[in-house]
Structure 1
Amino acid sequence: MFRDISILDTLLDQLWDAQGYWREPGNAGSPSSPGIRSVSRGTFPPINVGSSPDSVHVYLFAAGLDPQSLNATLQQNLLTLSGERRLQVEDGAARYRRELFEGPFQRVITLPEDVDPDAVDARYLNGVLHIRVGRREEVRPRKITIH
């Protein structure tokens, strides 16, 4: 019975994804805006992208990943994040259920055009990769003094 419910839930998610609708509070039954959710549920690893006047912040949620298995490149305004998650299984042990993603992954994120590829800082702490990309100085808004 629970397997049937899981299959039904997956089919409904696929239908909602295909129609561009999401079941999120305040957004049920209306087309999603690109900033709310850019990919379907279950995409690994999940990411959040935000910005401030002087930088863009990307958070990649990858608990259990070895930081050495992560790769990040920035070409113009395209940030590519890739790596591989390997789950440990004891020799001779059988798996009865596996809910965590295992294997290689790649995410490509389009950042605003004013990012500065020379002003990038990346830190991995407590399962979260935080990448901060500065914005180019010449395109930042400047306060104009009116006399």
Structure 2
Amino acid sequence: MAMYWDPFRELDRLATSMLDSRQGPRVMPIDLHRDGDHYVLNADLPGVDPGSVDVDIDGQLLTIRAERTLRSEEETQWLVRERPSGSFLRQLTLGDGLDTAGISAHYENGVLSVVIPVSEQAKPRKVAVQAAPRAEKEVTASAS
């Protein structure tokens, strides 16, 4: 499979990236689902050094930060350079009923997984129904 280099496409891409007024943190794509008594957030961060990943909780605000740096030697002549580098940021407001002290995270194969447990108070529970005690009537026989 041959790859053709289009200098006009590359100039267009370079101009777009140089004139991009955002130049702030990039957003990382995430998936979020509930699995029993916890939520699982998966964030795609391919090529990110695990040491640069930072997960913070401030009250109900979950913040994920990461940094991707591309190696660039002085003699490197890039033909195509489409993978974004720089800072990545995602912030989510967590609702009530979550155990923010029990949040854990791990990074594997370019995916950051954050596990957010549901608090004990918010978990559904079964309430036992007890029968009311009956007042026992004492039956006495009278001799006449």
Q: TM-score, normalised by structure 1?
A: 0.65
Deviates more, 1:116-125 or 1:83-92: 83-92
- Taking the TM superposition and a 5 Å limit, the aligned residue runs for 1:53-92 are 53-92=36-75
> SS in structure 1 opposite 2:39?
strand
Alpha-carbon distance in 2 for matches of 1:134, 1:79: 13
CA RMSD of aligned residues (A): 2.4
CA contact (8 A) 1:53 1:140 kept: no
Q: Which residue of 2 aligns with 1:111?
A: 94
Q: Give the drift of 1:146.
A: 5.0
Alignment of 1:126 onto 2:109: yes
List per-residue Cα deviations over 1:82-131 (Å, max 9, x = no partner): 12110112331122322111111211012332111111111111111111
Q: Which has the larger radius of gyration?
A: 2
Q: SS of 2:102's equivalent?
A: strand
Gaps of 5+ in 2: 1-7, 14-25, 131-144
Identity %: 31
Which letter maps to 1:83? A
TM-score, L = length of structure 2: 0.66
Question: Do the aligned partners of 2:98 and 2:122 also contact (CA within 8 Å) in 1?
Answer: no
Contact 2:68 2:86 in 1 (8 A): yes
Q: Which amino acid aligns with 1:64?
A: G
- Kept in 1, the 8 Å contact 2:105–2:114? The answer is yes
Output the CA distance in 1 between the equivalents of 2:48 and 2:70. Answer: 9
Distance (Å, rounded) in 2 between the aligned partners of 1:56 and 1:50: 6
Name the residue aligned to 2:135. none
Q: Which has the higher strand share?
A: 1
CA distance in 1, matches of 2:128, 2:35: 22
1 or 2 for the larger relative contact order (CA 8 Å, sep ≥6)? 2
Structure 1 position 132, deviation (Å):
0.3
Aligned residues: 109
